[in-house]
Amino acid sequence: MKTNRQSILRLIFTSFLLNALLFLCFEAQAQFWKKQTDTLLPDNEAFIESASVNKNSLTVIWDIADDYYMYRDQFRVVPITPGLTVGSASYPEGVVENDPEFGEVMVYFNRIQYTVPITRFPNSGDVLEFELKGQGCNKPVGVCYAPQTRLVSTSYTKPADSELAVSTQTDSVPNINTTTLNNSSKLEKSFWGYVITAFGAGILLSFTPCVLPMIPILAGIIAGQKNPTKLQSGWLAICYVIGTVVTYACAGWVAGASGVQLQAHFQSPWVIGVICTFLIILAISLFGAFKIQLPSHIQTKLGNASVNSRSASFSSFGLGLISALVVGACVSPILILTLGAAISKGDPVLGAAIMSAMALGMGSLLILFGFGAGWLLPRTGAWMNHIQVLFGFMVIGVAIYIASALPTVPALYLWAALLLWAGSYLLRFAGELSVDLMASFLRGAGFAALLWGGMALVGATGGGTEILNPLSSLQLSSGSAGTQKTKLPFDVVTTEEQAKALLSKARNSGKPTLVDFYADWCLDCVRMDKTTFLEPSVHQALTDWALIKVDVTNTNENSEAVKRYFDVFGPPATLFFKADGTEHQNLRQYGYLKKADFLTLVNQASQ
């Protein structure tokens, strides 16, 4: 027992060590590439505008981050509301900077407050809209930001001659309540209604490829135990599921409290890097690297079962905690839909409850699997060691699957290496067996793995990426040059106005329109660009379509406005519009669409 406990402690220790190293390497290399952008703020954080109307004047405040400054000569107030006019501004004294071309210019650090007289109010209405313009720079780095234009709307009660009461609200803060008013029927559901729906959604999700990668992980954990009883392996599965529940609950809490879109974080290379690290550690331990150390004790280790199972429970819990992040990447479009209610209510408790219910739903299959594994796994002997190694290969496979979401990971090479390795292992394993039937089965499996690995290697050298179709790249290049895959001719837009303009253009020319929400950080979006949207058959099907790609890579007022306009929570989202400009609401999709599914949708939309 001692060995096993030690090995688990070591597992935890090494994972910390590995992550520390990973962090160091990452940072050191990031330093090497010296991305100074990390130390600079985005413009909407460096310069924060606000405005209020007081009697007959508008007070404009720019809060400026430390080390940043703004130019006096670049400030402007442009009245937007019809009938509204303003006079010229009076500015306080600032700091004089020497400019190589323009001589001395006045700039402001930290904060600038100035007033503009309102010379005429509109005849009706109770909201004043202004555009505030300004331009600034970061002094120590020596960079300037493009001129900023911020729309602010100020509500005021119609002035008698006396005071104008005022509260302001800037447009850069997304106003979630108004965006979801049209969904108010959905909001009528009770707390428990949401929770039960989420649990059901979770159960449905457990049969998708999003949850299935968790099974080898869990199997690896269980197989890593010597002689687990049925109850023990079931318990490990429960610990694992509790781990996923905790992660989801936190994510739900954050979403409810802040409305932050979680997807971007779930799919970051960081999360993927950390989970792959943990999986590789798990695989190494399954290969026996942690246990060979004290071989004589392995025989006698059925000692302190409670200590062992406690540590195992913890590692199972921990792996659940982190693997939930990865699964989140896959189901997040549905997550975001489910969470829409919590986000719109701004209710962190509801958010946490919805997410935990969903995680429990997804976990029910895993728990069943855990108890089942207790029945099925062999008890003793050399078999167990081989089974562990095979699970180790599967866990590495999961790691490769996860890592292949990153566009630069040479996934097919890794698959080839894994398959060749696993294939030769299977052949050796078969050689040890005395039972002919089993040995020949394993030999067959081994040869199949070698063959597949070989094809993967060949495909990889040809630039292929897909393990399920390793030679696809070769078929392509052996065809005529005309089959060269090209991108779909999307019109890329970033603002609501641009999207509206293109939609109405399509309507005028009688074309149906495809609207694709995209972001660089959305791996599923990138994947769709690289697979589905390159398929000649997809090009064919979309010949007569107007194609709009809404790029929401940068989160700002424009991206929020355009998401609100289409009532889309975030990418990847695929929307189909009829030639008359109305949307096929029932065909709207969130998440990755493979060729067949996409073509079916296009066909339905074309009918």
Partner 1 sequence: MSNQNKILLAAVALAAFLIGAAINSARVTEISNASELLSAELLTGTGEEQTTRQNLGKFTLINFWASWCSPCRREMPLFQAVYEREKSNGFQIIGIAIDDVEKTQPLLDSMAISYPILYAEQTGMTLMELSGNELGAMPYSLLLDEKGNVIDQKLGEIHEAQLTAWSQGRVYEAEK
Give least dist CB 66 to partner 1, A: 16
Q: Residue 330 CB, nearest distance to partner 1 (Å)? A: 19
Q: For residue 441, what are its two tokens?
A: 């089965």
Distance between CA 247 and CA 324 in Å, rounded?
A: 6
Among residues 168 and 555, whose Cβ is nearest to partner 1?
555
Question: How many angstroms separate the CA atoms of 224 and 210, rounded?
Answer: 23
Task: Quote the least distance from Cβ 492 to partner 1, whole Å.
Answer: 9
Nearer to partner 1, 342 or 400 (CB): 400
Which C-beta is closer to partner 1: that of 249 or that of 550? 550
Tell me how far, at minimum, the Cβ of 268 lies from partner 1, in Å.
9
Structure tokens at 235: 């318990």
Cα–Cα nearest to 221, from 234, 203, 205, 210? 234
Q: Which is nearer to partner 1, 52 or 494 (CB)?
A: 494
Nearer to partner 1, 204 or 292 (CB): 292
Count Cβ atoms within 10 A of the Cβ of residue 390 and give its class: 0-12 exposed, 13-18 middle, 19 or more buried.
buried
Q: Minimum CB separation from partner 1 for residue 443, in Å?
A: 30
Phi, then psi, of 67 in degrees rounded to 5? 75, -5
Question: Cβ of residue 74: shortest distance to partner 1, in angstroms?
Answer: 7
What SS3 state is found at 485?
coil
Whichever of 147 and 193 has its CB closer to partner 1, that residue is 147
User: 142: which DSSP letter?
Assistant: T
Query: Least distance from C-beta 20 to partner 1, angstroms?
Result: 8
DSSP 268: S
Sheet holding 546-551, edge to edge: 491-493, 546-551, 513-518, 573-577, 589-590
Least Cβ distance, residue 149 to partner 1 (angstroms): 12
For 31, the token pair is 């330093």
User: 297 Cβ partners below 8 Å, 6+ apart?
Assistant: 2, 3
Considering beta carbons, is residue 270 or 383 the nearer one to partner 1?
A: 270
Q: Where are the beta strands (DSSP E) in 435-586?
A: 491-493, 513-518, 546-551, 573-577
Strands 546-551 and 513-518: parallel
Plot region of 259 (φ>0 → left; ψ -120 to 50 → alpha; else → beta): left
Residue closer to partner 1, measured from CB, 11 or 214: 11
Q: How far apart are CA 273 and CA 262, in angstroms?
A: 17
Residue 283 or 354 having the CB closest to partner 1: 283
> Comparing C-alpha atoms, which of 310, 291, 324, 288 is closest to residue 236?
310
- Output the smallest distance, CB 141 to partner 1, in A: 5
- Smallest separation, CB 62 to partner 1 (Å): 16
- Tell me whether residue 28 or residue 468 sits nearer to partner 1 (CB atom): 28
Task: Answer whether 303's CB lies under 8 Å from 6's CB.
Answer: no
| Under 8 Å between Cβ of 603 and 541 | yes
At closest approach, how far in Å is the CB of 519 from partner 1? 12
Q: Least distance to partner 1 from the beta carbon of 311, Å? A: 18
496-508 helix and 557-566 helix, angle to the nearest 10 degrees: 40
- CA 458, CA 104: separation in Å to the nearest integer? 66
> Are residues 430 and 446 in contact, defined by beta-carbon separation less than 8 angstroms?
yes
Q: In the bound complex, what is the minimum distance in angstroms from residue 150's beta carbon to partner 1?
A: 15
User: What is the identity of the amino acid at 269?
Assistant: P
Structure tokens at 192: 């428990």
Between residues 18 and 474, which has the closer beta carbon with respect to partner 1?
Answer: 18
**Residue 574's CB: how many other CB atoms inside 10 A?**
25
Are the C-beta atoms of 569 and 590 separated by less than 8 Å? yes
- Nearest alpha carbon to residue 12 among 397, 314, 271: 314
In terms of CB distance, is 240 or 425 closer to partner 1? Answer: 425
Binding site for partner 1 (CB under 8 A): 14, 17-18, 21-22, 24-26, 28-37, 40-43, 71, 74, 97, 99-102, 105, 135, 137-138, 141-147, 269-270, 273, 276-277, 280-281, 284, 289-290, 292-293, 403, 406-409, 520, 554
> 34 vs 160, which CB is nearer to partner 1?
34
Q: Tell me whether residue 145 or residue 545 sits nearer to partner 1 (CB atom).
A: 145
Provide the 3-class DSSP secondary structure of residue 590.
Answer: strand
To the nearest whole angstrom, how small is the minimum distance from the Cβ of residue 106 to partner 1? 13
Sheet holding 166-170, edge to edge: 76-79, 127-134, 148-156, 166-170
